[in-house]
Structures are given as C-alpha cells and as structure tokens.
Structure 1
Amino acid sequence: MSRETKPSLDVGLKDVTGALARATNPASHDAKYAVEAFNTIYCAVLDDGDLEDWPEFFTEDGFYNIVSRENYDHGLPVGLVYCEGKNMMKDRAMAIAKTSMFGPRYLRHFMTNTRIVDIDDAGTIKAETNFILVEVLAEWPEGRLHMAGRMQDIFEKQVNNSLLLKSRIAIYDTLLVHNALVLPV
C-alpha cells in the first residue's frame, strides 16, 4: 500500500486550539486509554520475543512500514521494513524466528505521549505516539538507543470493542541505525 492511499496524520498541532479541544474531549480520553493499553501489550509481546504473535495485532489487510523521517517527509514509502497484509507479516515473523541468524539481543520498547488525531463514527482511531527502542547486544552490554521516532497508527474497532492496527508507520528520527534492524518496532 503506498503512502498516497493512506490518510496523513500530520494534522492537528498546527491548530493548537483544535488540538487542545480534541485532547480534552471525553471520547479522546477513552480512545487514548485504549491505544495506550494496546501499545503496552504490543511492546510486551515484542520485548518478550514472541514474534509469531506480532501479526495478531493487525487486521487481515493491515499495513506496516518502518521508514526514515527523511523518506517520509519526502513522500517516499521505501522503508527498512514494508509489509502489506497480515500474511506478509506472518512470513516475516516466521522467517525471523525460524531461519534468520543474528546475534542474541534484547529489546525494550517505550511508547509515550500518545495523541489522538481523529476518531470517526465507526470508531476508527488515528493516533500518533512517540517511541524509543533500546537494544542490548553482547558487544554492547550496557545497552544503547537503537531507534527513536513516532508511530502513526490507524486502529479499527472490532466487534468485541478491541482494537487492531489497520496501519502502523514507524517513522524513525535516528539518523544512524547502529545495527541491522531485525525485529519489529
């Protein structure tokens, strides 16, 4: 799915009054809590290394991309990871878990400052959340910043009121990714 087919989430802070009104709306509070709860579980699954569960956070036609801020700002969808559909995500997770060879590593995902950009009548939530990814490798046992940036997400409300990701674009600000990006952000 190209970036052109995705609605931009880069709205809201240009109009501070509108952003504050959305932030203090009770529906935004409920949505923010739901998104933060979702992201807490998402991070725990990735931090625990449960890669085969990662695709279950997405809709069947979900979209996932890890792209540099520079590419994103220039409308270039080419990223470090690009997955269209849950099946592509399952293939990636299986390949990493079963066939890829890389040094042992531990990751810690931190997601904060969630901002609800929009909620439509169907319950679709557009949100933006900052993230930091810390990585520990044998050669860097003290840990280091692996990546920092923001997530631009589109969540779809399911029949049981749970959320699934329709789209997650991880836009990293980090100018240098120190090691190969192996695992999802």
Structure 2
Amino acid sequence: MDDVKLQLEVQNLYSDYVFCVDNTKFEKWRGFFTDDCVYRIVSRENFDAQNPMSTLKLEGQAMMIDRVHGMNDTIMHVPYYQRHIVSPPRIHRVENNMIHAEANYVVVRSRDDTFSEVFNTGRYLDVLVKAGETLKIKERVCVFDGDLVPNSIVYPL
C-alpha cells in the first residue's frame, strides 16, 4: 500500500473518530472498532510499569454496547462537552495486515457554568486493521499523562 495513501486513511480515521465523540454520536462511536476490540484508558505510570490496572477497559462489542447504554442512560454526571485536539498520527509499522500507529491528544472539557479546562492529555497507541475498504480500531490504549483524573471519565477519549 502506498505510504501517503495509508497515512491519509489513518488521519481520516482519527479525524472521523474525534468528530463522532466530540459531537456525542456514541452509537456510532463503537462502529470505529472491530468486533474483538480492546479499548483501554490507563495512566502513564501504570502503562510504563506494565501494570494491567486500567481506569477503563472494554473488550469486544458487547462491552462497547453496554458502555454506550451507560453514557446515554444510566451514568449520573454533570453534563459536559469535550473537544479533542489530536496530532497527526505516526505510523510505526505495518505487519500481518495490522497498522501500529500513535498520536498525541488533548481533551478540553466545557460546561455551561464554568470555564473550559484541559481535561485529559496523553497519547493513543493503536492497532488498526482493514475491514473491507475502511480501517477499524482493533486495539486503542489511551495512555494519559497524569496519575489523576478529575472526577471521572464518562465519555470516550
């Protein structure tokens, strides 16, 4: 596959992903992932120590469906908006039809009654695969920089 074409496909996947999440299209969010996906949010300290403890870990579409239901219907929280700023992705390698990519992210959270604040910063470590003509996320590990998360993480990073 042409390097430039692959870079654009990966960039478009990342752009479409954050557009979906920032606009609270959570039913569509899980469609970015394969059936056997892993979505994990973990602190840098735990990640670097290879500690399996995660702030959130979802395995497979059944858990994704449950999380979407929770975000939409059952998790009690003060509503907020979020906006992602994502660096251009870096493709580390392609092997066995899997693309290993990484990008930095900043998530800004806004509420109606307060100033916007930097909510979370970190990097995505992804394994992407081709599903027909589109790329899907097989594994996304969101490694956040700090050890603490304000309140809780309700929406996807």
Structure 1 residue 31: deviation in Å? 1.9
Runs of 4 or more off by more than 3 Å in structure 1? none
Residue ranges of structure 2 left out of the alignment (5+ in a row) = none
Alpha-carbon distance in structure 1 between the residues aligned to 2:146 and 2:88? 18
CA RMSD, 1 decimal: 1.4
**Which aligned pairs between 1:92-171 and structure 2 lie closer than 5 A?**
92-120=67-95, 122=97, 124-140=98-114, 142-159=115-132, 161-171=133-143
* 3-state SS of 1:113 partner: coil
SS at match of 2:76: coil
- Asked whether 1:71 is paired with 2:43, we answer no
Answer yes or no: is the 8 Å Cα contact 2:34–2:136 preserved in 1: yes
Q: Distance in 1 between matches of 2:61 and 2:123?
A: 22
Residue 36 of structure 1 aligns with which residue? 11
Aligned to 2:151: 179
Which deviations, in whole Å up to 9, do the C-alpha atoms of 1:40-83 show, x marking residues without a partner?
Answer: 11101111111121111110000000000000000012111100
TM-score of the aligned structures, taking structure 2 as reference length: 0.94
Change over 3 Å in CA distance of 1:29–1:81 after alignment to 2:
same
Query: How far apart are the structure 1 equivalents of 2:87 and 2:94?
Result: 19
d(CA) in 1 for partners of 2:41 and 2:75? 19
Q: CA deviation at 1:110?
A: 1.4
Quote how far apart the aligned CAs of 1:121 are.
5.0
Q: Which residue of 2 aligns with 1:22?
A: none
Instruction: Give the residue type in structure 1 aligned to 2:116.
Output: G
Count of aligned pairs: 157
Aligned amino acid, residue 143 of structure 1: S
Compute the displacement of 1:113 (Å): 3.3
- Answer whether contact 1:45 1:51 (CA < 8 A) is retained: yes
Distance 1:47 1:167 in 2: 20
1:15 corresponds to: none
Q: Cα distance, 1:147 vs. partner?
A: 0.5
| Counterpart Cα distance in 2 of 1:149 and 1:78 | 17
Q: Give the distance between the partners of 1:175 and 1:54, measured in 2 at CA.
A: 26
Structure 1 unaligned spans of 5+: 1-25
Greater mean alpha carbon deviation, residues 171-180 or residues 41-50: 171-180
Q: Which has the larger radius of gyration?
A: 1
Provide the rounded CA distance (Å) in 2 between the counterparts of 1:135 and 1:153.
23
Is structure 2 residue 55 aligned with structure 1 residue 80? Answer: yes
Checking the alignment, whether the CA contact within 8 Å between 1:119 and 1:126 is kept in structure 2 is: yes
Of all paired residues, the percent bearing the same amino acid is 32
> What residue is the counterpart of 1:19 in the other structure?
none
Partners of 1:177 and 1:155 in 2: how far apart? 27
Contact kept? 1:105, 1:137, Cα under 8 Å: yes
